Structure 1
């Protein structure tokens, strides 16, 4: 299927986007390095992996604060929130290191420091997606942007643990924590100071901060969350099953094959011109993932398993690309930072459920059965989406004979676009009626 000639290079040539993208990727590198660095730091301080798991679990639980942080960004502007959290997060990490030195082996202060550090994680991923949305036209250009975003997130989350392992081997886990803190600080401050983020101030939702369901009130948005939750559930079960089968360092290479497949899938998906509905895409991608994960249970050896996981991984990044596109389409402009964050949060909830569930299944059944059930975990949300049908299905991809051109951040919409936006925002929903004026992943990822 031939499509419009909008290249990834053309998207990155939009003024001020490349510096913002580089800054956001720097923060994302800290997402990949910090959790593992905290695990080893806590283990060396307390001498217990159980306590270390408690510390990293407390850090991960703060991922549920991400929608609130994104709502703060939508309300008060990206620069303010990124700058405040970009400074607070490194300070909290330094405080955690101070606890390990001043109070070695003391668990409550360590857990409290981990919670503070997690709450202060800057939402760079959702901020970057809001910048992509405002700087590109709907259609091929925005699809390229979100594909590039998903692939980059996948790569940084794969590189981060490898970098942490190297730093721990060379100098110890404290250095890895400091590198993660530095990456968060430099990336957040640079992103907040850049013109792309500052242009978002013109689109900030006016009025005081409001609490409540927010984008969750939108019926067309909920199927996307079902899909994201299913992806996290299935992926965490696959990871546990692969670790149980490999029983050695080969598990890392097997999961790396899945990540490589995801990156390739995201790049290829972004280059195609799609005309089917987003609902159809989500059902198809989840079904293909279910088949791939279930087929992994039949792999006779680890080489074949790696190949199967690589193919199954082709569906991973495209699923998130479609989810981000739906969030961009159905969530009001002044709440898009929060909308894409809910996609990541739903995925993290799935990961939190799938990991322990897979551990129980692995103990009580077998590796093959756990892998097969991982396929079922991806198939169930696909069936739920089919059951929803046209009632609450996400929007339809727009057909286009010509490539929409990327536009500059803060570029004023044409009268046609303003009219279309006004008609979409007139549903009477209090979230949708607010006017705009200006993301395992290992959690928490912004």
Structure 2
């Protein structure tokens, strides 16, 4: 397993790409909690802080495909620096506005929306760059697995770092300053790692793709549904785990359930990348989605917190592999010129599913028995399986070859995309 990932990092340009992406994406782990704490401190209201943070997240997620489309059209070297500069400047504005009480709440809301508008799509760009750097299917799968696991760990490390800053300095706005520095430095380094916008090493900026956006969405409906289902299941399960812990008189122990889920996901993601798989991505994604939904449904039968944590770890084994395979499959179906945007759609689907699952679980938790709610948390992932047979029939050819997707004669006639992989 170590040699598998070492082969990825030995690829020319890989370490530079990976380190730059990690620095920039750490900002997205630090900023949300820092923003929540800074706004609650300056307004004296957690409700206002929650609404503002939700608005920031919504504007960031909803506009991510648009920003990714700009990257596909103009290339990372031209599109990313203005986004990073705008995002960093707005974060600094939010830090200044929340340093002391007194700034009107509507002004804070406007700044939060502006931050979401500018947030550079670092995850989709990084995955598109992996596809350009690694034409070998096995290495590309390992790179995606490593990337997904690293991203999950950043979303654990970032909030911890934000909490340490707030506790040590009593100035949570400093977390926003750190977030600005991280995203600006990481994004500029990532853009600089793209040596050329055409020729070897990457796809040409604005590569031709005559398909319409709705056709891209139709081709990629199976991975988008899988990502949305996984997000909804995880969002619902996260909230219900807190309810479960509270009803057992151990509210703080909910963190152990989340930790078990994260650990299982990391292990599953690394194993997915290290092993050689013969099954095409369409079949792998269906199996992984079913495995995640099926194991998550076992939570309904957990009588104690330790058993719930065990179920979480078991379900976690399929989380990173499901997302990694969804990204890989989407990358193939999109083809050159649309990979960044297609990856952003997977991100948006996952985040939208997570938000919707959390909100729905909150409503159901007060109305239905908790075991029923836990069982229902698995239904979005299982419902995503209905798209498997609707994705088109794979044609002959080797698996895991995105170039086949680029050579599809008529995208509108092949809604399922290119050969499965």
TM-score (norm 2): 0.89
Partner of 1:442: none
Asked if 2 retains the 8 angstrom alpha-carbon contact of 1:31 and 1:160, the reply is yes
Q: Kindly report which structure 2 residues correspond to 1:353-392, keeping only aligned pairs within 5 A, or say none.
A: 353-382=356-385, 384-388=386-390, 392=392
1:289 correspondence with 2:289: no
Q: Give the CA deviation at 1:50.
A: 0.7
Q: Give the CA deviation at 1:393.
A: 5.8
User: In structure 1, the residue corresponding to 2:160 is in which secondary structure?
Assistant: helix
- 1:39-89, Cα deviation, whole Å (9 max, x unpaired): 111101111111001110110111110001110001111012221111111
Partner of 2:327: 324
In structure 2, the CA distance between the partners of 1:68 and 1:399, relative to structure 1 (3 Å rule), is closer
Partner of 1:277: 280
Partner of 2:204: 203
1:313 correspondence with 2:323: no
Question: Take 1:395 and 1:188, find their aligned partners in 2: how far apart are those partners?
Answer: 38
Which among 91, 94, 105 is matched to residue 93 of structure 1?
91
> Across the two proteins, how many residue pairs are aligned to each other?
407
- 1:173-216, Cα deviation, whole Å (9 max, x unpaired): 11211111111111011111224575667511158x99x95264
Asked if 1 retains the 8 angstrom alpha-carbon contact of 2:327 and 2:343, the reply is yes
Q: CA RMSD in A?
A: 2.8
Which among 333, 337, 349 is matched to residue 336 of structure 2?
333
Question: Take 1:396 and 1:104, find their aligned partners in 2: how far apart are those partners?
Answer: 65
Q: Kindly report which structure 2 residues correspond to 1:154-193, keeping only aligned pairs within 5 A, or say none.
A: 154-171=152-169, 172-193=171-192
User: In structure 1, the residue corresponding to 2:276 is in which secondary structure?
Assistant: coil
Partner of 2:10: 13
Q: Give the CA deviation at 1:330.
A: 1.2
Which among 58, 63, 70 is matched to residue 68 of structure 2?
70
Asked if 1 retains the 8 angstrom alpha-carbon contact of 2:228 and 2:349, the reply is yes
Question: Take 1:94 and 1:116, find their aligned partners in 2: how far apart are those partners?
Answer: 12
- 1:115-135, Cα deviation, whole Å (9 max, x unpaired): 111111111111111110011
Which among 412, 424, 427 is matched to residue 410 of structure 2?
427
User: In structure 1, the residue corresponding to 2:218 is in which secondary structure?
Assistant: coil
Higher relative contact order (CA 8 A, sep 6+): 1
Gaps of 5+ in 1: 405-416, 433-446
Question: Take 1:318 and 1:282, find their aligned partners in 2: how far apart are those partners?
Answer: 8
Question: Take 2:350 and 2:179, find their aligned partners in 1: how far apart are those partners?
Answer: 23
1:53 correspondence with 2:50: yes
In structure 2, the CA distance between the partners of 1:130 and 1:431, relative to structure 1 (3 Å rule), is farther
Which among 298, 308, 313 is matched to residue 301 of structure 2?
298
Q: Give the CA deviation at 1:364.
A: 1.1
TM-score (norm 1): 0.84
Which 10-residue stretch deviates more, 21-30 or 292-301?
292-301
Which 10-residue stretch deviates more, 128-137 or 219-228?
219-228
User: In structure 1, the residue corresponding to 2:337 is in which secondary structure?
Assistant: helix
Q: Give the CA deviation at 1:325.
A: 1.3
Question: Take 1:431 and 1:181, find their aligned partners in 2: how far apart are those partners?
Answer: 43
In structure 2, the CA distance between the partners of 1:195 and 1:332, relative to structure 1 (3 Å rule), is closer
Q: Give the CA deviation at 1:97.
A: 2.0
Asked if 2 retains the 8 angstrom alpha-carbon contact of 1:56 and 1:114, the reply is yes
Question: Take 1:339 and 1:396, find their aligned partners in 2: how far apart are those partners?
Answer: 23
User: In structure 1, the residue corresponding to 2:162 is in which secondary structure?
Assistant: helix
Asked if 2 retains the 8 angstrom alpha-carbon contact of 1:231 and 1:350, the reply is yes
1:346 correspondence with 2:349: yes
Asked if 1 retains the 8 angstrom alpha-carbon contact of 2:268 and 2:319, the reply is yes
Q: Give the CA deviation at 1:105.
A: 5.6
Q: Give the CA deviation at 1:33.
A: 1.0
Asked if 1 retains the 8 angstrom alpha-carbon contact of 2:94 and 2:176, the reply is no
Asked if 2 retains the 8 angstrom alpha-carbon contact of 1:241 and 1:371, the reply is yes
